[in-house]
Structure 1
Amino acid sequence: MTENDSDLNKQMILKYSSKKLDLDSATKNTINRNKELVVFTRYANWLTTKEFSFIVNLIATKNNIDTKNENAMKRFEKQHFPYGKRFNSISNINSKGYFAVTIYHTPYIIVMHHKEKSENAYILSLQGSWDDYSHYSIVAGNIKRLGWTEPTLIQRVLINVITQGHNIIGLAQTGSGKTAAYLIPIIVKLVEANRVQDKERNPSVLVLSPIRELSQQIVEHFEKLSPNKTLVALAIIGGKNISEQFCNMLQGVDLISATPGRLLDFLSRSYITFSACDTIVIDEADEMLNLNFFDDIDKIFASVNEDSQIIMISATFADKLLNLATSYFKKPIIFQITADNTGKTKIQEKFIQVSTNEKYYALQDILKNEIKKTLLFVNKKHIASKLSASLSNNFGFVLCIHGGKPQEVRESILSSFKNSQNSILITTDVMGRGIDIVDIDIVINYELPPTFEIYLHRIGRTGRAGRSGTAITFYDPVVDHEELPKFKERIKKFDSLHTQTNNFSNDLILE
């Protein structure tokens, strides 16, 4: 990068900062070093075509791409700036009073604008190490024990902003560390508040999630990160004795992790109050929408403080999802992390065309050659049960889990799968949301997923925490003719005849 390029880059960044904003020395130094920076202001302009092209060309040059080669540049832009043309859809959200940030695959510069002019401007540096966080010491020991050497991008973005008290919508791929991104600042806040009185039936934090297993895993994450045993988290979910859950809550609780249905039961019986609740998290918000939980959430929000900080987490982008959020939020900041920015993972995707009659035999061939921890997705519960019975005769340790099984059985099955090295777990999409296991080697879609978003959720169960993984998808053009158009480009790229590796690693040279 030439000296003139460097100056232009600084000018472009500073252009979006209010002239009246008093920048602290640390922020000035960050800008001068051209390090990763988030800049979001409340000015009317979007990035101009010239400015966007400048960013693309700058990063391409750093990665030895011939910027004069039109085809090479098109491929580069498509791979690393997939959301570069989404400004119009985000501007529609902004017109309702929202801040929005799109974070590219290369976290070199992230710019957000608001249609209403204002002198307010916010500049957020992306710390690259846990030691850069002033409040890190509270949870430092547990983070080190968990082996987290550095924060993921979503953690680097959200931890500071949540700590500052902003309402947040965080959009990032599965397996990107979203749960820790909101739990770490919440735990720090609870420790600093040191609340010891009136904790019975009156939590400080409410986390809502669509399925029981996810609610329980949030509690487990909380307990692993919490610096002491004085902080208490409790799962309020169906399938458990409600009186026993109420008795546990009477012992005092800081965080409730709940599914909407069981929480409404608690509210209808006056088992719980939210007078002290100042933080609300809606996790897996896209799945909440798919399962039509937002009517339940409306009822729950009628019982909470209007000035509570609200954090909405989702893996996929949906205009309908963000439109529904307008009734819950007061000017949130919307962070959208592109898929390539979520972690150093590699998922090898394969699409295999096979007739429905031959599918089971194709599955057997794969399982014979791949004796590893395998997650097998189907679309219906009865298919899961049939496959489990058939495969058990040939492959031994085959497990099956879906929403029709009792809660105790589901917990036992998940525990067995988690603790095994070579096993097969057959599941449906709803249950798949609750499977957060880092060492799954292979995901198999026995049937083509109903939507592309569900496909991304499924394959995101492998290739987690820096590991490699494989995702295999069966499709039958005759049976799947309605769904196939949604996967046309993916099948073309990852058909089994010319399989490629989908590299989600942030491997661009930034310095």
Structure 2
Amino acid sequence: MKFSELELEDKVLEALDAMRFDECTPIQEQAIPLILQGRDLIAVAQTGTGKTAAYLLPIINKLCKGDHQQEVINCIIMSPTRELAQQIDQQMEGFSYFMPVSSVAVYGGNDGTLFEQQKRGLTLGADVVIATPGRLISHINLGYVDLSHVSYFILDEADRMLDMGFSEDIMQIVKYLPKDRQTIMFSATMPSKIQQLAKTILNNPAEIKLSVSKPAEKIVQAAYVCYERQKLNIVQSLFAEEVPERVIIFVSSKIKVKEVTRALKVMKLNVGEMHSDLEQPQREFIMREFKSGRINILVATDIVARGIDIDDIRLVINFDVPHDSEDYVHRIGRTARANNDGVAITFISEKEQSNFKNIENFLEKEIYKIPVPSHLGEAPEYAPRSNGNRGRSGNFRNKSKGPRTNHSGQK
């Protein structure tokens, strides 16, 4: 379906045309009409399916009609991370280019100028506030935020927000909102805690569920079955002769990010780290260095890495096996973008074998196992214990993905 077939205002279609968005993605085709109708909605969809545009376009469409009060906050969009909040705000600017719809992104950081800018947007009544839960609560507690006119409340990546411990913050924010608002929730999975949250804050919602996609065929997938202590040495052997221009190494925690980064620097590799202990200016500096090629290896966690939106990543290394299939698909989907080829390599320790077998079950294929270099010593055999069909179910802890934009309006 084309965007022009939806009941969108001419100015919204002009913005889409200027951004060269023509065809709807499946989530946009299903969600936009329901949101335009005023229905509460819960949608299960991965990042990369175009979900950001699926809720921004109908909300901007409603706001540009002039039926809402001026100089008040009309819409709140909750985001789990500052990186995603920034990306939503950037897309908001593009879609609302031809319309007098204002927005402000509200997220953490120690920049006093940034805080004052956020305060100004909140007190003057930006139409759309895109916020991380903790920072919005901080502003609310200072007494100058009026949420009594909010017509639209959107939770993006709701499962990730709950995983990060934002449940109480979300419920505290809900207390300040009118009961007759329209509430929209996007989540990559539908565990029981998301179902309970939906029952609490949504009113007779419509439901959309898209199946999890498989990795792109252009991605060459392989794995090393190894001992945990061999992982760093395998990295060193991979980069002994040449380091690809852009490499992301995913690890399981911010503590491990620091450990792996230190070890790679000792190996004289050109590496940067991305984790939640960094201040926002530090994160932005690292991303600029990575995008420019001055840093060619980035070590990161899943949550922080959502803000990475680069088309020419050549190699993804899963230093630790992801917790579930969707995280695996999301991680390796960072490569082979924009018609480029890409390689994804996973290191599988003894304790991680069952988890990786679940991923293979989900992919319905066996990933090729590269022999560990002989000079690194003997490696364990790949003999995972059965864990049922957990890898096929899709009911996992947390999902994600870094969004991107293409000519179909997909993000």
* TM-score, structure 1 as length reference: 0.65
2:265 and 2:12 map into 1 onto residues whose CA distance is 43
**Contact between 1:388 and 1:426, CA under 8 Å: does it hold in 2?**
yes
**Contact between 1:278 and 1:308, CA under 8 Å: does it hold in 2?**
yes
Structure 2: tracts of 5 or more residues without a match: 371-411
1:22 maps to which residue? Answer: none
**Contact between 1:130 and 1:150, CA under 8 Å: does it hold in 2?**
yes
2:9 and 2:249 map into 1 onto residues whose CA distance is 38
Q: Indicate the RMSD between aligned Cα atoms, in angstroms.
A: 2.9
1:230 maps to which residue? Answer: 100
Q: What does the per-residue CA deviation read over 1:343-371, in whole Å, with 9 as the maximum and x for residues that have no partner?
A: 98754433321222322232234455661
**Contact between 2:57 and 2:95, CA under 8 Å: does it hold in 1?**
yes
User: Partner amino acid for 1:214?
Assistant: L
2:50 maps to which residue? Answer: 177
Q: What does the per-residue CA deviation read over 1:44-101, in whole Å, with 9 as the maximum and x for residues that have no partner?
A: xxxxxxxxxxxxxxxxxxxxxxxxxxxxxxxxxxxxxxxxxxxxxxxxxxxxxxxxxx
**C-alpha deviation, 1:171, in angstroms:** 1.0
Cα separation, partners in 2 of 1:224 and 1:373, compared to 1, 3 Å: farther
3-state SS, counterpart of residue 213 of structure 2: helix
1:163 aligned onto 2:39: no
1:145 and 1:397 map into 2 onto residues whose CA distance is 39
**Contact between 2:360 and 2:366, CA under 8 Å: does it hold in 1?**
no
Moved more, 454-463 or 489-498: 489-498
**Contact between 2:324 and 2:355, CA under 8 Å: does it hold in 1?**
yes
Which is bigger in relative contact order (C-alpha 8 A, separation at least 6)?
2
Which of 339, 352, 361 in structure 2 is aligned with 1:480?
Answer: 352
Structure 1: tracts of 5 or more residues without a match: 1-127, 499-511
Please list, as runs of the form range in 1=range in 2, the aligned pairs for 1:16-35 lying within 5 A after superposition: none
1:495 maps to which residue? Answer: 367
3-state SS, counterpart of residue 272 of structure 1: coil
1:205 aligned onto 2:79: no
**C-alpha deviation, 1:412, in angstroms:** 2.2
User: Partner amino acid for 1:132?
Assistant: E
3-state SS, counterpart of residue 209 of structure 2: strand
1:448 aligned onto 2:321: yes
1:344 and 1:353 map into 2 onto residues whose CA distance is 23
Structure 1 ranges of 4+ moved more than 6 A: none
Q: What does the per-residue CA deviation read over 1:456-496, in whole Å, with 9 as the maximum and x for residues that have no partner?
A: 4423434557766443211012x425645643525882422
**C-alpha deviation, 1:305, in angstroms:** 1.1
Q: What does the per-residue CA deviation read over 1:97-144, in whole Å, with 9 as the maximum and x for residues that have no partner?
A: xxxxxxxxxxxxxxxxxxxxxxxxxxxxxxx22222231632334334
1:137 and 1:276 map into 2 onto residues whose CA distance is 26
Cα separation, partners in 2 of 1:176 and 1:471, compared to 1, 3 Å: farther
Moved more, 157-166 or 445-454: 445-454
3-state SS, counterpart of residue 339 of structure 1: coil
2:218 and 2:340 map into 1 onto residues whose CA distance is 7
Moved more, 234-243 or 275-284: 234-243
Please list, as runs of the form range in 1=range in 2, the aligned pairs for 1:241-260 lying within 5 A after superposition: 241=112, 242-260=115-133
1:325 aligned onto 2:188: no
3-state SS, counterpart of residue 308 of structure 2: coil
Cα separation, partners in 2 of 1:389 and 1:146, compared to 1, 3 Å: farther
2:86 maps to which residue? Answer: 216
1:143 and 1:472 map into 2 onto residues whose CA distance is 37
1:266 aligned onto 2:145: no
**Contact between 1:285 and 1:313, CA under 8 Å: does it hold in 2?**
yes
**Contact between 1:344 and 1:465, CA under 8 Å: does it hold in 2?**
no
Q: What does the per-residue CA deviation read over 1:236-265, in whole Å, with 9 as the maximum and x for residues that have no partner?
A: 111143344212433441111111111111
**Contact between 1:443 and 1:458, CA under 8 Å: does it hold in 2?**
yes
**C-alpha deviation, 1:185, in angstroms:** 1.1
1:305 maps to which residue? Answer: 178
Cα separation, partners in 2 of 1:465 and 1:299, compared to 1, 3 Å: farther
**Contact between 1:169 and 1:335, CA under 8 Å: does it hold in 2?**
yes
1:75 maps to which residue? Answer: none
Which of 131, 148, 152 in structure 1 is aligned with 2:4?
Answer: 131
Cα separation, partners in 2 of 1:355 and 1:396, compared to 1, 3 Å: closer
User: Partner amino acid for 2:235?
Assistant: L
Cα separation, partners in 2 of 1:296 and 1:468, compared to 1, 3 Å: farther
**Contact between 1:214 and 1:435, CA under 8 Å: does it hold in 2?**
no
**Contact between 1:288 and 1:294, CA under 8 Å: does it hold in 2?**
yes
Cα separation, partners in 2 of 1:163 and 1:296, compared to 1, 3 Å: same
Moved more, 150-159 or 465-474: 465-474
1:194 and 1:345 map into 2 onto residues whose CA distance is 47
**Contact between 2:325 and 2:358, CA under 8 Å: does it hold in 1?**
yes
Report how many residues are paired. Answer: 366
**Contact between 2:274 and 2:305, CA under 8 Å: does it hold in 1?**
no
2:338 and 2:154 map into 1 onto residues whose CA distance is 23
Q: What does the per-residue CA deviation read over 1:201-243, in whole Å, with 9 as the maximum and x for residues that have no partner?
A: x311100011111111111110121123732211111114334
Moved more, 410-419 or 185-194: 410-419
Identity rate, percent: 33
1:188 maps to which residue? Answer: 61
Q: What does the per-residue CA deviation read over 1:146-168, in whole Å, with 9 as the maximum and x for residues that have no partner?
A: 34342211111111111111111
1:136 and 1:364 map into 2 onto residues whose CA distance is 55
2:234 maps to which residue? Answer: 362
Q: What does the per-residue CA deviation read over 1:351-404, in whole Å, with 9 as the maximum and x for residues that have no partner?
A: 321222322232234455661432211112232223334434667542211001
1:402 and 1:351 map into 2 onto residues whose CA distance is 25
2:223 maps to which residue? Answer: 351
2:29 and 2:268 map into 1 onto residues whose CA distance is 43
Moved more, 206-215 or 244-253: 244-253
1:148 maps to which residue? Answer: 21
1:335 maps to which residue? Answer: 208
Please list, as runs of the form range in 1=range in 2, the aligned pairs for 1:271-286 lying within 5 A after superposition: 271-286=144-159
**Contact between 1:352 and 1:495, CA under 8 Å: does it hold in 2?**
no
2:256 maps to which residue? Answer: 383
Cα separation, partners in 2 of 1:172 and 1:419, compared to 1, 3 Å: farther
1:417 aligned onto 2:309: no
